[in-house]
């Protein structure tokens, strides 16, 4: 059996009570999803809700999630300057020793739709090691549109790159003259291990045999309660512990 262990190495001497290790994303399913009923009324017809959509839940559960390790206040002045106000003297000492947020010059994103937005950077205290031939996809927490933190997506070969991957992000609530708070434990970025491989593409037109197979599966779905067919017959379990 090949090694499928992802390793998180803490490289900053954070106080023990500030160490929030990355967690399996399946442990962070949001409350709003938990509260959605499996079936909903649609003008008198009972239909499955998004809770019955296994691919939707699979995506949110994939991989691991990096968490903010300390309460952070981010302030944008009227001139666009970014500051990190201190909550108290102890907070000041920790932030000065290990600054959790830095910025990217906007010129680095010249011509992009986010050129005029402050591009912040989470200073990740962890290096991440994946097995040979595995890279990591860094992306916003999937289907978590309520999260104002939007990391810029990156794909890193973490089997050979042994340095810290810091996370550039945009905070949708930040604007001149205002401040936002990112509490400790807030999801910053979802990371998904992906095995590198070489792919080719091919475009075809289904023949009659293939079309009949599609139609057969469609009929089986309807006969076996459509919203459960994928879960019972087609879905493959994934594991991230």
pLDDT tens digits, 195-208: 999 999 999 999 99
Mean residue pLDDT of the chain comes to: 90
194, with CB counted inside 10 A (0-12, 13-18, 19+), is middle
The secondary structure element, H or E, covering residue 181 is strand 178-182
pTM, full prediction: 0.89
- 137-141, 179-183, 211-215: segment of lowest average pLDDT: 211-215
Confidence grade of residue 1 (pLDDT, cut at 50, 70, 90): very low
* Local confidence band at 2 (pLDDT 50, 70, 90 cut-offs): low
- The two tokens of residue 46 are 């009972």
β pairing state of 149-151 and 167-171: antiparallel
What pLDDT score does 227 carry? Answer: 60
- More confidently predicted of 15 and 169: 169
Task: Please say if the pLDDT value at position 226 is more than 60.
Answer: no
Please compute the mean of the pLDDT values over residues 150-161 and round it to a whole number.
96
The dihedral region occupied by 18, where left means phi > 0, alpha psi between -120 and 50, and beta the remainder, is alpha
User: What is the residue extent of each domain of the chain?
Assistant: 7-234
**pLDDT at residue 19, as a whole number:** 82
The rounded percent of the chain whose pLDDT value lies above 90 is 63
| CATH superfamily of domain region 7-234 | Deoxyuridine triphosphatase (dUTPase) (2.70.40.10)
pLDDT at 123 over 70: yes
Compute the average pLDDT of residues 68-88: 92
Q: How far apart (Å, rounded) are the C-alpha atoms in residues 76 and 82?
A: 5
Rounded Cα gap, residues 57 and 23, in angstroms: 17
Q: Quick check: 158 and 135 in contact, CB under 8 A?
A: yes
Helix then strand then coil, % of the chain, to nearest 5: 25, 30, 45
């Amino acid at each position: 059996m090949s090694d499928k262990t992802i390793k998180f190495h803490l490289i900053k001497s954070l106080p023990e009570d500030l160490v929030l290790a990355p967690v399996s994303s399946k442990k962070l399913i949001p409350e709003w999803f938990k509260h959605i009923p499996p079936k909903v009324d649609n003008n008198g017809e009972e239909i499955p809700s998004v809770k019955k959509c296994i691919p939707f839940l699979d995506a949110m559960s994939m991989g691991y999630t990096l968490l903010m390790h300390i309460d952070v206040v981010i302030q944008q002045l009227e001139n666009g300057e970014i500051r990190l106000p201190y909550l108290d003297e102890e907070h000041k000492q920790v932030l000065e020793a290990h600054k959790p947020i830095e910025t990217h010059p906007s010129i680095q994103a010249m011509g992009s739709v986010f050129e005029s937005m402050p591009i912040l950077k989470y200073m990740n205290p962890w290096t991440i090691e994946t097995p040979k031939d595995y890279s990591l996809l860094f992306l916003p927490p999937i289907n978590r549109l309520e999260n104002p933190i939007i990391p810029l997506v990156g794909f890193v070969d973490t089997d050979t790159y042994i340095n810290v991957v810091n996370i550039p992000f945009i905070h949708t609530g930040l604007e001149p003259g205002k401040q936002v708070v990112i509490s400790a434990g807030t999801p910053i970025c979802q990371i998904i291990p992906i095995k590198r491989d070489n792919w080719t593409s091919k475009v075809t037109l289904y023949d009659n045999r293939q079309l009949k197979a599609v139609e057969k599966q469609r009929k089986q779905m309807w006969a076996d309660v459509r919203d459960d067919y994928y879960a019972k017959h087609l879905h493959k379990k994934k594991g991230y512990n």
